[in-house]
Structure 1
Amino acid sequence: MGIFKELGLREIINASGKMTALGASAVEEQVGLALKEASQDYVDIDELMEYTGKVIAKVTGAEDGCPTCGASAGIAISTAAVIAGTKLSLIERIPDTEGLKNEVIVQKGHLVNFGASIGQMIRIGGGKVVEVGQANKVEKDHIEQAINDHTAALLYVKSHHTVQKGMQSITAMMEVAHKHGLPFIIDAAAEEDFQKYIKMGADIVIYSGGKALEGPTSGFICGKKELMEACRKQYKGVGRPMKIGKEGMAGLITALKLIENKSSKPEKQIERMTNLCNKLGKLQGLTCSIKQDEAGREIYRAQIHINEDITGISAEELLHKLEAGNPAIYLRHHYVNVGILSVDPRPLLEGQEDIIADKIIDILQGGNK
């Protein structure tokens, strides 16, 4: 019996992805052991933080790194770092940055809500958000012409939440930043490639430790050495209430050291989701197909389209019935308004796709009406 079941909480089947609302990832045994052992011992936190930074650097190919309690904290800390640097008098002013270079340029289609607001994370770090272009179209000139003497950095958000068309590319935006001698930050929270953006030339890259990495609740920043030193310094200021503890760093280090043996196993994902689709394909009014992640990651989900006129139940109603059960089944529901639900195979335990298919069949055949 798991700890949450012992507490009387419902069992969860997570088919929605590495979602913060469901606890992000279930860690491997070695990571769990590191969390346990770290919680029962003592360490110099500054030394541990510097060591963690070195591990981050080795894995990402960056000059240095900084651990955080999450990717959202990484946005706030990175923003504060490019504004205040390592100067304590400025660090202690954050988020009051009046008169400083504090403007952070973001494409309009990237100012999304990921569970909270990207813009708010920037403001927490003392940044003034400068959104450029339109929600479905940004020209390079929009970015170029927004730069002035108050610009602190340019931020690119790499996420399935953002608008995927009409935005300027990472390369185009980075060229503008470097042309003007400005730091280029990428929020790559859920990305699986931990070296790609450093190789491209980004100055700061932010990742979640609890998503693709499958580590504990944590995050990490990697990039230029002087900027990482500035990031760590923010723990004397705005970073203090979002600090990561010894357990989180120990678990993060362990997960990072295990990364070489990880694989997204796309063939296995496709096999499992094909089996799910074959079971669901027998139902009238329901079609199921395999779709790659909209942001281009090596994730292959089953996309289920519900024709309400035939099934007599909408995608939203089906979703609620699945979530109300015990076990509660959570599907990916970004397109529920157009009758589409998706199953993400990555967080599923062995055989759980069959439980999901059986429950959907039961509901649509009237067993849970």
Structure 2
Amino acid sequence: MRKNSEYTADWSWHDANGYDRIVNVSGTMTALGGSITTERVATATAAAMPRFARIHEMQARASEVIARLTGSEAGFLTASASAGITLAVAGAITGMDPARAEALPAHSGPRNAVAVQMGHLCEYGASISQAIALAGAETRIVGQATLVKDYQLEAALDDSCAAALYVVSHHVVDYGMLPFDTFVRIAHAKGVPVIVDAASEYDLKGFLAKGADIVIYSGHKFLGGPTSGIVAGRKDLVRATYLQNIGIGRGMKIGKESIAGTIAAMEQWMERDHDAIRAAETHALEMWQAALTDLPGITPIRVPDPTDNPLERLQIWIDPAKAGASAAQFAEILGRSDPPLIVRGHKIEKDYFQLDPCNLMEGQAELVRDILVQVLSDASAAAEVDIRSALAAARNGGTQAYLNWLA
């Protein structure tokens, strides 16, 4: 266990509750709590808790804010972006028929297919296909994992197809899929609505402006709100999606405190100084890159976000022969530091991990630099880590870690 006493953070909440201290350079990850809120958002969330309120009235207020935020006709909040996908699919199936909404998921009717490009069938902690199935829908796979053709989507959008789902994520294949404008054009020519999963995207207006009918965002990732999902789009489809709260949406409901906090987070997003925040993140990346550049076997490179979010990450390439250990082994030791440094290891088997500065707290950029230099300069501890276990830990975290704690 490595100690670092120069950074004086407030760990009182972690220590009082017996939770691990964490420095998050992985990004807006659900398994780490999504993101951290500002005092403004935290205050708005807490203020609603000791009071009664009409949930539908709060949702109507949320709809007004969502419309300003996204350019949509209407919107509402639900438990998560994943819930938003399921509810949007359900709304496309049932329309405004409450009897059909109550019949889901067991009896979805003959028009229950959802077309998805094969390269978009990602796993984000759960699978896209399961989010679709929870609505009683059938996933209709379009094309192959590395190539989808126009006529393949056209053929999939027959009379049994209720919706077409387009996924925007670092998890999906980034080549060979139909571009968004082509996807929308083909779907609309067939009279099929387009649902966009844009959970972790900065672009809150572009997809609707380019023809999406429903777009789903996370309220607790880049927006920095409490756990929530934002559903935005055409008023008729938003209403049909909201109708699902009398059925499968009951288990996906959101409380008054999360509605209040997410409204505050959305308003804050529209007011914040995005350029200043980007500059602070860039400063951290430059500091880390400079500190690691001369270490043997370590190559730090700044890379843009794969989905065109206006941010960069530092990609740390590891040459095991020169550095003395693999990327997975170093990531494991970084996660055992004091405090633990949680890196972004989605592709750790390719000999690199990434550092994301979007969730840094005051003073943590320097702390991250110091821990990185300490760990990556001395491979002795990392070399002792079983590489197969390190790879498995990087790829099977989250729920598996909880199951391990219960064992």
So what's the TM-score if we normalise by structure 2?
0.88
Residue number in structure 1 paired with 2:122? 112
1:53/1:65 contact within 8 Å kept: yes
Q: Distance in 2 between matches of 1:228 and 1:292?
A: 33
Confirm whether residue 284 of structure 1 aligns to residue 264 of structure 2.
Answer: no
Kindly provide the CA deviation profile for residues 245-273 of structure 1, in whole angstroms up to 9, marking residues without a partner as x.
00010001111111222316433322221
> Which shows bigger deviation, 314-323 or 52-61?
52-61
Confirm whether residue 241 of structure 1 aligns to residue 251 of structure 2.
Answer: yes
Q: Distance in 1 between matches of 2:284 and 2:336?
A: 24
Q: Distance in 2 between matches of 1:338 and 1:224?
A: 42
- The change in CA–CA distance for 1:247 and 1:98 in structure 2 (over 3 A counts) is closer
Residue number in structure 2 paired with 1:130? 140
Q: Distance in 2 between matches of 1:25 and 1:261?
A: 18
Kindly provide the CA deviation profile for residues 221-264 of structure 1, in whole angstroms up to 9, marking residues without a partner as x.
00111111111111100000110000010001111111222316
Alignment of 1:138-287 (within 5 A): 138-262=148-272, 263=274, 265-287=277-299
- The change in CA–CA distance for 1:98 and 1:81 in structure 2 (over 3 A counts) is closer
Aligned length: 369
Q: Distance in 2 between matches of 1:368 and 1:241?
A: 49
Q: Distance in 1 between matches of 2:295 and 2:219?
A: 39
Residue number in structure 2 paired with 1:316? 328
How far is 1:367 from its partner? 8.0
Q: Distance in 2 between matches of 1:349 and 1:48?
A: 31
- The change in CA–CA distance for 1:98 and 1:268 in structure 2 (over 3 A counts) is closer
The amino acid across from 1:340 in the alignment is: Y
Kindly provide the CA deviation profile for residues 338-367 of structure 1, in whole angstroms up to 9, marking residues without a partner as x.
111111011112332322232232223338
Confirm whether residue 365 of structure 1 aligns to residue 352 of structure 2.
Answer: no
Q: Which of 25, 39, 45 pairs up with 2:35?
A: 25
Residue number in structure 2 paired with 1:341? 353
2:353 match: secondary structure: strand
1:269/1:301 contact within 8 Å kept: no
Q: Distance in 2 between matches of 1:5 and 1:315?
A: 30
Q: Distance in 2 between matches of 1:350 and 1:98?
A: 50
Q: Which runs of 5+ in 2 are unaligned?
A: 1-10, 382-407
Q: Distance in 2 between matches of 1:54 and 1:231?
A: 17
CA RMSD of aligned residues (A): 1.4
> Which shows bigger deviation, 69-78 or 43-52?
43-52
How far is 1:4 from its partner? 2.7
Kindly provide the CA deviation profile for residues 275-334 of structure 1, in whole angstroms up to 9, marking residues without a partner as x.
111111121111112111111111111111111101111110111111123311111112
Kindly provide the CA deviation profile for residues 76-96 of structure 1, in whole angstroms up to 9, marking residues without a partner as x.
000110001221110111112
Q: Distance in 2 between matches of 1:145 and 1:124?
A: 24
1:75/1:125 contact within 8 Å kept: no
2:325 match: secondary structure: coil
Kindly provide the CA deviation profile for residues 81-124 of structure 1, in whole angstroms up to 9, marking residues without a partner as x.
00012211101111123533100000000001001000000110
- The change in CA–CA distance for 1:74 and 1:2 in structure 2 (over 3 A counts) is farther
The amino acid across from 2:187 in the alignment is: A
Q: Distance in 1 between matches of 2:73 and 2:158?
A: 28
1:362/1:368 contact within 8 Å kept: no
Q: Distance in 1 between matches of 2:225 and 2:24?
A: 17
2:158 match: secondary structure: coil
Residue number in structure 2 paired with 1:47? 57
Confirm whether residue 328 of structure 1 aligns to residue 337 of structure 2.
Answer: no
- The change in CA–CA distance for 1:40 and 1:368 in structure 2 (over 3 A counts) is farther
Residue number in structure 1 paired with 2:307? 295
How far is 1:368 from its partner? 6.5
Q: Distance in 2 between matches of 1:85 and 1:3?
A: 46
How far is 1:60 from its partner? 1.0
1:266/1:300 contact within 8 Å kept: no
> Which shows bigger deviation, 266-275 or 254-263?
266-275
1:318 match: secondary structure: helix
The amino acid across from 1:172 in the alignment is: T
So what's the TM-score if we normalise by structure 1?
0.97
Q: Distance in 2 between matches of 1:34 and 1:19?
A: 23
How far is 1:193 from its partner? 1.5
Q: Percent identity?
A: 37
> Which shows bigger deviation, 93-102 or 238-247?
93-102
Residue number in structure 1 paired with 2:395? none
- The change in CA–CA distance for 1:325 and 1:368 in structure 2 (over 3 A counts) is farther
Q: Distance in 2 between matches of 1:54 and 1:335?
A: 40
2:51 match: secondary structure: coil
Q: Distance in 2 between matches of 1:339 and 1:357?
A: 20
1:83/1:126 contact within 8 Å kept: no
1:324 match: secondary structure: coil
